[in-house]
Amino acid sequence: MQMPPLIGRPSNVSCLIGSPSRRRRNGFALIITIVLVSFLVLILVGLATFTRVETQVAANSQQISQARQNALMALNLALGQLQKYAGPDQAVTARADITSASALNQPYLTGVWKTTNTSSIPDTWLVSGNENHISPPPVSPPVNPDTAPDPSTLAKDTQVFLVSNATVGNDAQRVLLNKQPITVPSGSVAGTAGPA
């Protein structure tokens, strides 16, 4: 016995085989999904880069602000030392090279003598590191032209050139000093007052 011929296709056969227009719609949806995911990834990468750059800019701004505050503090310390030692009318200032005929490490540092001081050792040298020096001559301040770093050498990490080759003609005229640490908040300063 023969089976009667099928008049139409069963409905489940079209689902299994799929029509060409349905396959095209599925392919188009897949392409749109991939494009949207790629766009979202691009946006996320852009936001991450922007955040990283902004964080670095904020850190740099904070460091610049800290450096300016340290410089202002060093200026205030130098002015305070200048007023303390050279402010009275009975004080004289001069460069270190008048104190000795021999070569000094730092001949361009400025010393302060009371007019009653007849010693070649000044009451103080106007340089960072001598802020708390209270011993009168003949005891020399901790930082003086003999103990200061040699300006003809390269600066170490703990030193800084206050007057460098961009300002003077040769290495011997440079002024090199040790940085003085700051405990709050952080950083270091170095300074000198007087003619260079």
Q: In this structure, what DSSP letter does residue 167 have?
A: T
Q: How far is CA 50 from the centre of its chain?
A: 22
% of the chain at pLDDT higher than 90: 18
Exposure b/e, 60-96, CB count within 10 A at least 16 = b: eeeeeeeeeebeeebeebbeebbeebbeeeebebebb
Whole-model pTM: value is: 0.60
Mean pLDDT, range 13-34, rounded to an integer: 70
- Please, are residues 114 and 94 in contact by the beta-carbon 8 Å criterion? no
pLDDT in tens, 128-153: 877 776 666 555 667 777 778 888 88
Give 101's pLDDT tier (boundaries 50, 70, 90): low
